[in-house]
Amino acid sequence: MRDAVATAPEPPGRTPAQALFRRLFVINALVFAAGTFVLALSPATVSSPVLLTEIPVLLIGLALILAANAFLVRASLAPLTSLTALMRRVDLLHTHDRLPAGNRDLRGVTDTFNQMLDRLEEERSVASAQALAAQEAERGRIARELHDEIGQSLTVALLALKRVRDRAPAELADELGHAQEAIRTSLDEVRQVAHRLRPGVLEDLGLTSALTALATDLSQTGTVEVTRRLAPGLPPLSSEVEL
């Protein structure tokens, strides 16, 4: 039998909080060590009790230590300021707004936040596509019902009214003709509504023909002037993008 060799598990990595604590501790230790080293090599001395002439020297040294410490700590915490600003202005409708990596100890925080933004944008895109698909499916169903059911019912009524008009007395011909025209107008309106809900030209003839038809329809309304410029040889697009 071969002897099994047990290996010790690797220690887990530091958490962002532990890494930040270590960084701040090292910064403060280095600052105070440098201050102690400079004080030890300088000709300045401190008496006991402290003399008035020594107080300015102590204050200047303390101010330099605090200034150096504040500068280094602020540089270390700069990514947190950027993170807070990004969290306030982030807008998932405008993508590609990401936080720079920053220093090594806070890179885990910034990377996690950027990954969260990536995940949220991906989920928003998927949700938008699903909502669009559901909406178009519902519009298509309503358009088919308008065209197949109501449209056919109006067509049957129009044909029946025509037969009645052919056999009706002459004094009723005009009234039946007005009724026919009203039904014919209603049938045209139903067809237009169904067409606006789900234009079949997009599925049957493609995006270029659909845009041409849409521009033509808008021009015929007389409310807006449309200039149509469509480049030839457009690349193929997905159905969601074309819609």
Residue 202 forms part of a structural domain:
no
117, 98 contact by CB (below 8 A): yes
| CA–centroid distance for 123 within its chain | 9
Residue 80 forms part of a structural domain:
yes
How far is 215 from 210, CA to CA, in rounded Å?
A: 9
64, 44 contact by CB (below 8 A): no
Q: Count Cβ neighbours within 10 Å for each residue of 214-239 and write b for 16 or more, e otherwise.
A: bbeeeeeeeeeeeeeeeeeeeeeeee
What string of pLDDT tens digits covers the 243 residues of the chain?
444 434 333 344 556 566 666 677 777 777 777 777 776 666 666 566 766 766 776 777 778 777 877 777 777 777 677 677 767 776 666 666 676 665 565 677 777 778 888 888 888 888 888 888 888 888 888 888 888 888 888 888 888 888 888 887 877 888 888 888 898 898 888 888 887 787 777 777 888 888 888 888 888 877 778 888 888 877 888 877 787
H-state helical runs in the chain: 16-41, 55-89, 107-145, 151-167, 173-197, 200-205, 207-221, 239-242
Q: What is the pTM of this model?
A: 0.47
What pLDDT, on a 0 to 100 scale, did the predictor assign at position 5?
38
Domain range for 50: 16-122
What pLDDT, on a 0 to 100 scale, did the predictor assign at position 54?
64
User: Which region holds residue 178: left if phi is over 0, alpha if psi is between -120 and 50, else beta?
Assistant: alpha
Residue 200 forms part of a structural domain:
no
Residue 217 forms part of a structural domain:
no
Whose tokens are 């996690």? That residue is 112
Measured CA angle at 134 (ends 129, 139), to 5 deg:
125
Measured CA angle at 66 (ends 64, 70), to 5 deg:
120
How far is 208 from 225, CA to CA, in rounded Å?
A: 19
What pLDDT, on a 0 to 100 scale, did the predictor assign at position 10?
36
What is residue 149's DSSP assignment? I
Total tally of structural domains belonging to the chain: 1
Token digits of residue 160: 């029946």
Residue 79 forms part of a structural domain:
yes
**94 three-state secondary structure:** coil
Cβ atoms < 10 Å from Cβ of 110: 21
237, amino acid identity: L
Question: Which residues, 6 or more positions from 132, have their beta carbon under 8 angstroms from its beta carbon?
Answer: 240, 243
Residue 216 forms part of a structural domain:
no
Residue 117 forms part of a structural domain:
yes
Nearest to 211 by CA among 194, 188, 231: 231
197, 139 contact by CB (below 8 A): yes
Residue 177 forms part of a structural domain:
no
What pLDDT, on a 0 to 100 scale, did the predictor assign at position 9?
39
